[in-house]
Amino acid sequence: MEKELIDIADYFQMKKYDDDFINFITFRKPTIQSSSMEPSSKKIFILNDDSTDDEKLTMFYETTMKAKKFIDDAMNNYMKNKKKIKNKNKNKLKNKKNLYPITLLSSKEFLDTIMLQLKSLNRLVERDSSSNWLILPLFIVANQIFKIFSQLKDQVTHPNLKFNINSIPDCNKLPIKTKIVKEFLEDCARNIHRSFSLCLNDKNPNLRKNKKIGIILFSNLEFKIYHKLQNKDMIKNLIKVLNSNNVLTQQQQQQNAVNNADLTTFYKSHVVMFNYFMGQYYGCYESDFNLACNYLNNALMECPDPKKIIITSPSTINSIWRRLLILLIPFTILTRKTYPNLDYILNNIFINIEDNHAKEIKDIFHPIIQCFKTGNLQKFDETFKQNEYFYLENGIYVAMTLIRELVFLKLIKNCYKIWLTINDGKNNKFVIPLPFLLIGYLKSLGAQQELIQQIVVADDNDSASGSHQEQQQSSAHPRGQRETQTRYKNKKQLPMTSKETRELILDEIECHLANLISKNYIKGYLSHGNRCLVISKTVPFPKLATKNG
């Protein structure tokens, strides 16, 4: 069969790409099902003699061909080695994780080659100031290089990952190897930031030809890299650049200016990702939950409706919903002071309610929402302790600790309703003694009735029973009496009396109430001398649900 010759220089003259050009820049996927990429078996990519004088184009062509050969050779060797053990274990032929062979990642020459490919394409994009046709190809190259270096970092502890770098002694010892991989990833970040800068600094007034359409694409890549490097400062600097250039207000204009079907598909999906990363930064790092909610809601609105379209990859869509909801649910509770209808969300968003992502969301947040509705501090603290690692892993630990304040507020409202019922018709019904709130506080923490009675009726004469009470108090909730007692023990570590414990818990309640009053969650004031809370006769508890709505 005669093979078709495709001259790469023609694309740069026409300033237009097609599927063949995308196949040229795309590396062979790390699967063993196909021995080679189908397009390359029928078509040969060349660079004509007239274009060899163009150093930038020649460099791009040569590095691309060299990188593709590296990958083809590595994958073919990988397949040959697998075929040798085919009769022993057929399952070993499956590359389930879709990863490149570790021997390929160990080649510094290959890693330098793919980095040089990105650098050379950046130079070609910089040279073409009148068009943005190379933005999508540039993103494809940058994205696949990021995936390779990301895999390299994930497998840094692999015993077969061995570099051969003469200039670095002991380069295969884990600490040095980890440092080398980090430097590779940082170099990757610098080159992708160069691509980002080319888009950011384009001054072409024609939006349809302006390279600014690529800002969000490369911003997302940078976010991923900086998260991989765990570099919060670089994330902060990137967002400063985006804010200073007024990029965030131009999203809709840029989206409307897209006139390429392929780029439109990429852009819509990346708008969701971009808003997610922005919401994650402001909510998890800056604790600006209002701004975080705005970005996350924008991401939510851009997501496809699974009930109205045909979903080719349900697990991917469910994973996106999961990541958004993990942030959006606690941030919304904090900003709107309302709880979401979790059953409605799960039934209308997730394609399959029995999906693991849907179950995880329900298991994590359903108990929290119930505590928010009832003021149950004991259940909240138990749930918090059980899912503490999950909160840390997803960056919502601070948000969840702040929700406890709203659970405490609900407890105070419940106590106030009981107080009104007891003192109906009396003049002092708007003056709530703190010892009354103390009973509700201890009950909410799960303290035993005997312990509550001892603390509430404590006086100066019960100090002799301190050691006995300490033993009983140890059975109270860790966020309640036992923790309070331990936190305030004197230097001699003497057992605390019931009266001392009572006063300390009352002080703790006063502190919580003072915070609620300062945030305008409660209208009133505290009288420390009389140990009471005096609340407003008109609106003791403002409607917080409309306060930030």
pLDDT in tens, 275-289: 999 999 999 999 999
Instruction: Pick the more confident residue, 453 or 503.
Output: 503
Cβ partners under 8 Å of residue 505, min gap 6: 438, 441, 442, 455, 481, 484
The pLDDT score that the predictor gives to residue 338 is 87
- How far CA 409 is from CA of 336, 395, 429, in Å, comes to 15, 24, 19
**222, pLDDT greater than 70:** yes
- Average pLDDT of the residues in 529-542: 90
- Reported as a pLDDT band with limits 50, 70 and 90, residue 252 is low
Task: Please check whether residue 441 is in contact with residue 511, taking contact to mean a CB–CB distance below 8 angstroms.
Answer: no
Instruction: Pick the more confident residue, 458 or 177.
Output: 177
Task: Please check whether residue 227 is in contact with residue 194, taking contact to mean a CB–CB distance below 8 angstroms.
Answer: no
Domain ranges of the chain: 1-255, 430-546
**159, pLDDT greater than 60:** yes
Cβ partners under 8 Å of residue 104, min gap 6: 70, 71, 74, 75, 110
The pLDDT score that the predictor gives to residue 521 is 93
pLDDT digits (tens, 9 = 90+) for 99-116: 788 888 888 899 999 999
- Reported as a pLDDT band with limits 50, 70 and 90, residue 266 is low
pLDDT digits (tens, 9 = 90+) for 210-220: 888 889 999 99
In this predicted structure, which of 65-79, 229-243, 490-504, 521-535 has the lowest mean pLDDT? 490-504
Region of 334 on the Ramachandran plot (φ > 0 left; ψ -120 to 50 alpha; else beta): alpha
**pTM of this structure:** 0.84
The sign of the dihedral angle between the CA atoms of 338, 342, 343, 346 is positive
The pLDDT score that the predictor gives to residue 97 is 57
pLDDT digits (tens, 9 = 90+) for 161-181: 777 775 666 677 778 888 888
Q: How far apart are CA 116 and CA 409, in angstroms?
A: 59
Q: Which of 262, 327, 281, 275 is nearest to 301 (CA)?
A: 275
The pLDDT score that the predictor gives to residue 490 is 41
